[in-house]
Amino acid sequence: MRILITGGAGFIGSNFVHYTLEKYPEDRIIVLDALTYAGNLENFNKHTWSNPNFQFFHGNIIDEDLVNELMRNVDTVVHFAAETHVDRSIREAGAFLETDIWGTYILLEAAKQNGIKRFVHISTDEVYGEAEGRPSVEGDDLKPKSPYAASKAGADRLAWSYWATYGLPVAISRCSNNYGPFQYPEKLIPLFVTNAIEEKPLPVYGHGKNTRDWIFVQDHCSGIDALLRSEDGKVNGEVFNISSENELSVLDITEIILATLKKPKSLINHVEDRPGHVTRHAVNPGKIRKALGWEPGYGFEENIAKTIDWYKANEDWWRNLKEKQAEYQEWIKTQYGDHS
């Protein structure tokens, strides 16, 4: 396979690059990434850089000419590139509309023109909004609550419309909250793990009882892999939830991190709540299990411990962001002010 991976220098994208190069050494990968504050060339090690089947292009998915040129050299696309942080979308939504919706449109058009054989669109469980009463299923209404989630819902439906209208072979994943190595330290788990290591306060929004459905990033990668490689009739035009059915509250996660790192609970700092804060995100993965035989391979307890160990062992990786990246420092000051 020759795969164009957009957003491949981000958290999930880079894990997916590693996953694919290891599992399918014959495949050719082209990464297109704009290297926003969240994209990081240090997510690839020297083995990846020297792999002849790996190519990196620094560029934006809204650059039509570049996208068309790259698309001519691949047969499949996995589209991760997006603005992804809910809190940032609450402060400034424009970049989310531009990348997540317009950028997806540019890619879909190029995919249509270049006869792409499978376009895996990485959507998110955020598109459902609140999971009321039970985990969301694929046929549920989309009631996104943040500008990020609404942009992703637009992109998700736009991708599906290219299947319905033009027959473009699109498959869509809606995964729950990922955790693992290489996650930018603005999201809950890497922010709290690294703050705890530094003995800085852990800023819990509001009461901290909001729950999320946590999945190890490798399990998301194996689900995407199934969407990429399953036969046409099983996945084209279909949406699949991906989850390892592991719901925990923000306070649960915070306490696990503190206990694992042997840090005091006094580091917990309740701060002002996120506007429009979703009380519960959770999705039912029954469809992908039944249709594609996908199963999560990783339990939470073991993998949160492994993830914490990874941040302990890779201090240079996150300190380069927290201590040297101006965008990071500016964000923390804007978002947390005196609580940072």
- The item of ligand DAU, ligand NAD, none sharing an interface with residue 241, based on CB under 5 to 8 Å by kind, is none
Q: Is 184 designated active site?
A: no
Catalytic entry in 83, 125, 156, 238: 125
108 binds ligand DAU (CB under 6 A): no
Q: Does 80 contact ligand NAD by CB under 6 A?
A: yes
Q: Rounded to an integer, what distance in angstroms lies between the CA atom of residue 156 and that of residue 330?
A: 31
The reply on whether position 151 binds ligand DAU by CB under 6 A is no
Check binding of 103 to ligand NAD (CB under 6 A): yes
The token duo for 278 is 């979703």
Q: How far is the CB of 265 from ligand NAD (least distance, A)?
A: 26
CB 247 within 8 A of CB 212: yes
Q: Which does 250 bind (CB under 5 to 8 A by kind): ligand DAU, ligand NAD, none?
A: ligand DAU
Cβ distance to ligand NAD smaller for residue 178 or 201: 178
Q: Judged by CB, which is closer to ligand NAD: 202, or 213?
A: 213
Task: State the binding partner of 12 from ligand NAD, ligand DAU, none, CB within 5 to 8 A by kind.
Answer: ligand NAD
Is 205 a binding residue for ligand DAU by CB under 6 A? The answer is yes
Distance, C-alpha 54 to centroid of its chain? 21
Amino acid at 231: E
Which positions ≥6 away from 105 have C-beta within 8 Å? 158
- State which H helix or E strand residue 32 sits in: strand 28-33
Distance CA 31, CA 33 (A): 6
Catalytic site includes residue 148: yes
* CB atoms closer than 10 angstroms to residue 46: 7
242 HSE (CA, 13 A, CB side): 31
Q: What is the DSSP letter of 172?
A: E
Amino acid at 322: K
Q: What is the DSSP string of 69-124?
A: HHHTT-SEEEE------HHHHHH--HHHIIIIIIIHHHHHHHHHHTT-SEEEEEEE
Nearer Cβ to ligand NAD (48/269): 48
Nearby residues of 222 by Cβ (< 8 Å), 6 or more positions away = 19, 294, 296, 297
Q: What is the nearest approach in angstroms of ligand DAU to the Cβ of residue 169?
A: 24
Q: Is 126 a catalytic residue?
A: yes
Selected from 43, 136, 151, 177, the binder of ligand DAU by CB under 6 A is: 177
Among 126, 156, 225, 238, binds ligand DAU (CB under 6 A): 126
281 near ligand DAU (CB under 6 A): yes
Which residues sit at the interface with ligand NAD, rule CB under 6 A? 6-7, 9-13, 32-36, 38-39, 60-62, 80-84, 99, 103, 122, 124, 152, 175, 177-178, 184
Footprint on this chain of ligand DAU (rule: CB under 6 A): 84-86, 124-126, 176-177, 187-188, 191, 203-205, 210, 212, 250, 274, 281
